[in-house]
A and B are shown apart, each in its own frame.
Chain A
Amino acid sequence: MADESTATEIHEEPALPLIVIAIDNACPRQEALEEAAALTVQLGGKLSGVFVENARLVRLASMPFAAEVGLASARARELSPEELERSLRSQARSAQRSLQMTAERCQVPWSFSVERGSFVGRVVGTAFASKSRRRPRERARADSTNVLFIQREGCERRSGPATLVMDPSLRSSQRLYRAMDLAAELNLRELDILIVGEQMEEAHRQRQRVTAILEREKFSGCVTLIPPSALGELAPYLEEKQSATLILANARRLLDGENLRHIAETQPVPLFLIR
Chain B
Amino acid sequence: MPSPRALNSDKLYASCPPSTFRFKTTQSLKEPPAVLGQERAVEAIRFGIDIGRKGYNLFAMGPSGFAKHRIVRRFLDERAAKDKAVAKELCDWVYVFNFEENNKPQALSLPFGTAREFREDVEQLVTDLVAAIPAAFESDEYRAQRNEIEQKISEEEQSPLEDLGERIKSKSVALVRTPSGLAVVPTNKDGEIIDPEAFGKLSERRQNTIANTIKTVQAELQEIIQQAPRFRRQLQKQVRDLNQAITRGVVDGLFADLRKKYARQEEVIVYLNAIADDIVDNASVFQHPQPPQEGAQGVVASQLAIGPPPEAAPHILARYRVNVLIHRKESKGRPVVYEDNPTFENLVGSIEHIAEMGALLTDFTLIKAGALHRANGGYLIIDAMELLRHPSAYDGLKRALTTEHIHTEPLGKRLSLLSTITIEPEPIPLDVKVVLLGDRRVYYLLRHYDPEFDELFKVSADFEETVPRDRKNVNLFAQTLGSICRSEKLLPFNASGVGRMVEHASREAEDAQKLSVRILSVTDIAQEADFLARKANKRAIGPDHVQAALDAEVRRNSRAPERMREAVLRDTLLIDTDGERVGQINALAVYQLGGHAFGSVSRVTVRTRQGSGKVIDIEREVNLGGPLHTKGVLILSSYLASTYLPDHSLSLSASIVFEQHYSRIDGDSASSTELYALLSALADAPIRQSLAVTGSVNQFGEVQAIGGVNEKVEGFFDLCAARGLNGEQGVLIPESNVKHLMLKEEIRDAVDAGQFHLYPVRHIDEGIEILTGIPGGKRLKSGAFTANSINARVEARLEELRSASKDEDKNGKRKKKGNGNANS
A residues engaging B (CB < 8 A)?
24-26, 54, 56-57, 59-60, 62-72, 74-76, 79, 84, 87-88, 90-91, 137-144, 168-171, 174, 198-199, 202
Other-chain contact of B218, A56, A63, A67, A198 (Cβ < 8 Å): A67
- Closest B residue to A53 by CB, please name it: B179
Other-chain contact of B181, A71, A90, A141, A169 (Cβ < 8 Å): A71
Enumerate 28 A-B pairs (CB-CB under 8 Å) in ascending A order.
A25-B178, A54-B176, A56-B195, A57-B178, A60-B183, A60-B185, A60-B193, A63-B186, A64-B211, A66-B183, A67-B218, A70-B181, A71-B180, A71-B181, A71-B228, A76-B222, A79-B183, A84-B178, A87-B179, A138-B192, A139-B190, A141-B177, A142-B165, A142-B176, A143-B177, A170-B151, A170-B154, A202-B144
When A56-B193, A140-B192 are in contact, do A69 and B181 touch as well, CB less than 8 Å? yes
- Closest A residue to B200 by CB, please name it: A63
- Complex CA–CA separation, A202 to B143 (angstroms): 12
Per-residue CB proximity of B211-245 to A under 8 Å, as 1/0?
A: 10011001001100110100000000000000000
Q: Which of B567-587 contact A (CB under 8 A)?
A: none
- Closest A residue to B208 by CB, please name it: A65
CB <8 Å contact, B225 and A137: no
Per-residue CB proximity of B432-468 to A under 8 Å, as 1/0?
A: 0000000000000000000000000000000000000
CB <8 Å contact, B176 and A141: yes
- Complex CA–CA separation, A67 to B140 (angstroms): 44
- Complex CA–CA separation, A90 to B178 (angstroms): 13
- Complex CA–CA separation, A25 to B199 (angstroms): 23
B158 within 8 A of A: yes
CB <8 Å contact, A67 and B177: no
B residues in contact with A57, CB < 8 Å: 176, 178, 183, 185, 193
CB <8 Å contact, B183 and A198: no
- Closest B residue to A26 by CB, please name it: B177
B4 within 8 A of A: no
- Complex CA–CA separation, A82 to B517 (angstroms): 105
When A56-B193, A202-B144 are in contact, do A70 and B180 touch as well, CB less than 8 Å? yes
B residues in contact with A64, CB < 8 Å: 211
CB <8 Å contact, A170 and B192: no
- Complex CA–CA separation, A84 to B191 (angstroms): 22
B residues in contact with A65, CB < 8 Å: 211, 214-215
Report the interface size class on chain B: 35 or more
B187 within 8 A of A: yes
A residues in contact with B161, CB < 8 Å: 142
Other-chain contact of B178, A79, A138, A139, A168 (Cβ < 8 Å): A79
- Complex CA–CA separation, A76 to B225 (angstroms): 11
- Closest B residue to A92 by CB, please name it: B179
CB <8 Å contact, B179 and A25: yes
Minimum distance in angstroms from A58 CB to a CB of chain B: 10
Other-chain contact of B228, A74, A137, A142, A170 (Cβ < 8 Å): A74
B residues in contact with A142, CB < 8 Å: 161, 165, 175-177, 182
B358 within 8 A of A: no
B155 within 8 A of A: yes
Closest 8 pairs between A and B when the two form their complex, measured CB to CB: A140-B174, A142-B175, A74-B225, A87-B179, A170-B151, A70-B181, A74-B226, A68-B181
When A56-B195, A65-B215, A199-B144 are in contact, do A140 and B225 touch as well, CB less than 8 Å? no
- Complex CA–CA separation, A155 to B202 (angstroms): 42
A residues in contact with B148, CB < 8 Å: 202
- Complex CA–CA separation, A71 to B226 (angstroms): 9
- Complex CA–CA separation, A127 to B89 (angstroms): 79
B residues in contact with A54, CB < 8 Å: 176
CB <8 Å contact, A26 and B179: yes
CB <8 Å contact, B158 and A139: no
B253 within 8 A of A: no
